[in-house]
Amino acid sequence: CHLTHGHCQTGFYDKCTPHVPFQGSSTLMTAVISLTVFMVGLTGNTLAIYVVLRYAKMKTVTNIYILNLAVADELYIVGLPFLTTQNVLSYWPFGSFLCRVVMTADSMNQFTSIFCLTVMSIDRYLAVVHPIRSTKWRHPRVAKVVSAAVWAVSFVVVLPVVIFSDVQDTFNSCNMIWPEPKDVWSTAFILYTATVGFFGPLLIICLCYLLIVIKVKSSGARVGFSKRRRSERKVTRMVVVIVVVFVLCWLPFFIINMVNLVVIIPESSATAGIYFFAVILSYANSCANPFLYGFLSDNFKQSFRKVDDGDPSAPRTEKTTAQDCILLSPRNQAYHDPQSSQVTFVCVCVCVCVCVCVCVDNGDGDGDGFIY
């Protein structure tokens, strides 16, 4: 079936849960993968939320948007145990009300994530291309108002989910129950979510960074970058990496949905395994973001270490502007090769992907994936 944010729409399969529950090693592997993603995502995003709220120097414009992104990621991750339970049991055991709540929260937080990334990209455009004129707009108070607007818009966007999500009588699964003509409603909703929740915002994001690149190239030959300009570049790099990882994690999901509008994908253990991988990858994005904050932001890294060491004091940083707080602390001014950390991070990501891919194979070596 088509899954919207981990839950079912009509289309990919005739019904959204397997004919029989997961069996043997497939049941265990599904639970292990989902539990791992859930625990890592919950812990990482809780830590990110805590350090932004706890430390005064972390309350910058960019970090306020990151705070909202972390909240959305954490609430999105909370829906994973419900999805896993339905997949393992082959039915929804939690009732109609909780079905609607989970579907709405799940959908709303995915839209909030991409909208937050879009706002962060626009903020980067203003900071780099219009650093003087945008000063009055790039303020923590404005960022809070914009963040509230993002959540409100996300709720409006997912109103179809609020209205039409329920437990199906025929298959007892939490799903979208469309009125007649069902095929038209289902197709329209898939196009709607893909456009508003992915490709549309992605177009805006790409435009922002295209303009940033043009600006940087046109001003690169001028006087050398000041400390503030270097800080802006580091923040921009962090936002770019977060956006790229988001696209890589969500693109398979939307590609499968779009392809299925043209060609009916047959139901089999292999296609079910592929689709499970695409869905779990979207959840994995939510647990990857805190690691990106730690790798790409020295202030986040220092704050995480403060929490780990049990030191309640705020992270020591150089004097920064109200908008950005990504500079190295005085005691960490020694040379550090950024490419080394990036290589290490890429290696970790590759290892995780390999492990997940191995797990998707049910262990018999024939590559048939999970038994649905």
Q: How do residues 273-283 score in pLDDT, each as one tens digit?
A: 788 888 888 88
Which is higher by pLDDT, 344 or 99?
Answer: 99
Dihedral of CA 322/324/325/330: which sign?
negative
Asked if 51 and 278 touch (Cβ cutoff 8 Å), the reply is: no
Asked if 149 and 64 touch (Cβ cutoff 8 Å), the reply is: no
Phi then psi for 175, rounded to 5 degrees? Answer: -155, 175
Query: Residue 315 pLDDT more than 60?
Result: no
* Architecture in CATH of 2-309+336-360: Up-down Bundle (1.20)
Q: How do residues 188-227 score in pLDDT, each as one tens digit?
A: 999 999 999 999 999 999 999 999 988 888 775 454 555 5
Q: Where do the structural domains in the chain lie, given as residue ranges? A: 2-309+336-360
Asked if 77 and 38 touch (Cβ cutoff 8 Å), the reply is: yes
Q: Which of 154-158, 181-185, 279-283 has the highest mean pLDDT?
A: 154-158
Residue 230 confidence class, pLDDT cut points 50, 70, 90: low
Q: Residue 174 in 3-state DSSP?
A: strand
Average pLDDT in the 163-190 region?
90
Q: Residue 141 in 3-state DSSP?
A: helix
Asked if 361 and 369 touch (Cβ cutoff 8 Å), the reply is: yes
Q: How do residues 4-36 score in pLDDT, each as one tens digit?
A: 444 444 333 333 444 444 445 566 777 788 888
Average pLDDT in the 145-172 region?
93
Give Rg (Cα) of the chain. Answer: 22
Average pLDDT in the 325-349 region?
39
Question: Which element (helix H / strand E) includes 269?
Answer: helix 269-296
pLDDT at position 303 is 81
Tokens of 285: 């994005």
Within its chain, how far is the Cα of 280 from the centroid?
A: 11
Query: Residue 340 pLDDT more than 60?
Result: no
Which is higher by pLDDT, 236 or 224?
Answer: 236
Asked if 7 and 175 touch (Cβ cutoff 8 Å), the reply is: yes
Q: How do residues 44-91 score in pLDDT, each as one tens digit?
A: 999 999 988 988 777 889 899 999 999 999 999 998 899 888 878 888
Q: Residue 318 in 3-state DSSP?
A: coil
Burial of 296 (0-12, 13-18, 19+ CB in 10 A): buried
> Closest Cα to residue 198, out of 155, 273, 252, 144?
252
